[in-house]
Amino acid sequence: MIKVLILNYKSLENLQECIAGFSNLHSKVEIVIIDNGSKNSDLNEIEALARNEDHIFLFKNFKNLGFTKGYNAYLNNIEDASHLFLLNNDTSIDKDCISAINKRINTDHPDMLSCKMINYWNRELMDNAGHKMYTSGEIVPLGHARSINKYTKPLENIGACAGAAVYSTAMLKDIGLFDEYFDTGYEDAEFGLRAFIAGYKCIYEPNAIVYHKMGQSIKKIFDFDYVVKIQTNIYYTYLKLVHWQIILTGFIPWLIRIFLITLVDIIFWRPKYLKVQYQALYNIIFKDWKTVMKARKEARHLRRISWWKLLKKQEFFLVNDVRNFYKFIIKGEKSYFEKF
């Protein structure tokens, strides 16, 4: 049985639209709303939703715990489902989404499944088809802002975006829940990589379509500190999970990359970006190093695949960096950081 989990970020309007998408399904599914500390008026309406529908249940967090702890509070006690479908409340699903998920699970038995997340506002463009990883250590959305027509076939990726992801409960029990080093942002990237190095498989299912109001939750918390935390999270994930052979062989290219990024940011005078990079490095080396090394030791038993298999799954970072240089420096387009 698949159980749908929807984490409510105090946006009742989004939540109601998200749940409405399930009313068009041929068969009902069990939906659990994980309320993350809504105000009393909103909570009363959410409770009414749960009372009036026998397939909707409510789990209360009495304060906003963020994404990671908000989900973990519920996942700590999960026993009665073979798979969990995590769904952001700023999404709406296609009527065939659940049947496509069930079909893929029954056919290929993936441990994780990525939905086809499409931009809610422009339905010709992808939000993502799961995650991919660069040799720089960054884990990024696969297919973001590209045509939906380029992602019409199943593929294996390196993890699912938790905005619309299916996880097997057996896998969760084996590798653990979301890492609570994270708050809201990058926890699904770390989880996907952790599952991959433990030998689990993630498949992108193009017929499981989910429309995503991109960035609606993040806009509320997006600021300089949030960007620094995301960059710190990237370093943390890399040092926690990646085989030492890859870290050593990639160290010199990483140093060259940091030098070139610094040079570009000085020449084109982008002080905010310089501060983000070096504040994140300071955080990981001087503030969180013991935490990182402890997490790496605890994850040692999960590195079940060879370092060579992980390296082959990564894409070389230079092509992406050159593309970003042209896009943001030469063409002058605004980055995600500058939009907010």
- Identify the band that residue 21 occupies on the pLDDT scale cut at 50, 70 and 90: confident
According to the model, what pLDDT value does residue 231 have? 95
According to the model, what pLDDT value does residue 242 have? 98
pLDDT tens, position by position, 46-66:
898 888 888 899 999 988 888
- ∠ CA(284), CA(287), CA(288), 5° rounding? 55
- Report whether pLDDT(26) > 60: no
- Report whether pLDDT(1) > 90: no
User: Pick the residue with more confidence: 240 or 64?
Assistant: 240
DSSP string, 199-249: T--EEEEEEEEEEE-TTTTGGGT-SHHHHHHHHHHHHHHHHHHS-HHHHHH
Quickly count: other Cβ atoms within 10 Å of residue 303's Cβ. Answer: 18
Work out the percent of the chain whose per-residue pLDDT is above 90: 73
Asked if residues 66 and 8 have their Cβ atoms less than 8 Å apart, the reply is no
pLDDT tens, position by position, 323-335:
999 988 998 887 7
Residue ranges of the domains in the chain?
2-220, 224-339
Rounded to whole angstroms, how far apart are CA atoms 317 and 207? 30
- Report whether pLDDT(135) > 90: yes
- Identify the band that residue 40 occupies on the pLDDT scale cut at 50, 70 and 90: confident
Asked if residues 70 and 7 have their Cβ atoms less than 8 Å apart, the reply is yes
- Identify the band that residue 340 occupies on the pLDDT scale cut at 50, 70 and 90: very low
DSSP string, 152-217: -S-EE-S---TTEEEEEHHHHHHH-S--TT-SSSSHHHHHHHHHHHTT--EEEEEEEEEEE-TTTT
pLDDT tens, position by position, 105-124:
999 999 999 999 999 999 99
CA of residue 65 relative to chain centroid, distance = 17
Least confident of 2-11, 83-92, 155-164: 2-11
Residue 16: strand, helix, or coil: helix
Residue 21, strand partner residues: none
Least confident of 18-27, 113-122, 216-225, 330-339: 216-225
Work out the percent of the chain whose per-residue pLDDT is above 70: 95
What integer is the mean pLDDT of 241-262?
Answer: 96
According to the model, what pLDDT value does residue 183 have? 86
According to the model, what pLDDT value does residue 29 have? 85
According to the model, what pLDDT value does residue 333 have? 83
Candidate CATH numbers 3.40.50.620, 1.10.260.30, 3.40.50.1860, 3.90.550.60; the one for domain 2-220: 3.90.550.60
What integer is the mean pLDDT of 225-231?
Answer: 92
According to the model, what pLDDT value does residue 220 have? 60
> 164-177: buried (b, 16+ CB within 10 Å) or exposed (e) per residue?
bbbbbbebbeebbb
For the chain, helix, strand, coil in percent to 5 are 50, 20, 30
pLDDT tens, position by position, 281-322:
999 999 999 999 999 999 999 999 999 999 999 999 999 999
Query: Strand 164-168 and strand 112-119: pairing?
Result: antiparallel
Rounded to whole angstroms, how far apart are CA atoms 54 and 42? 20
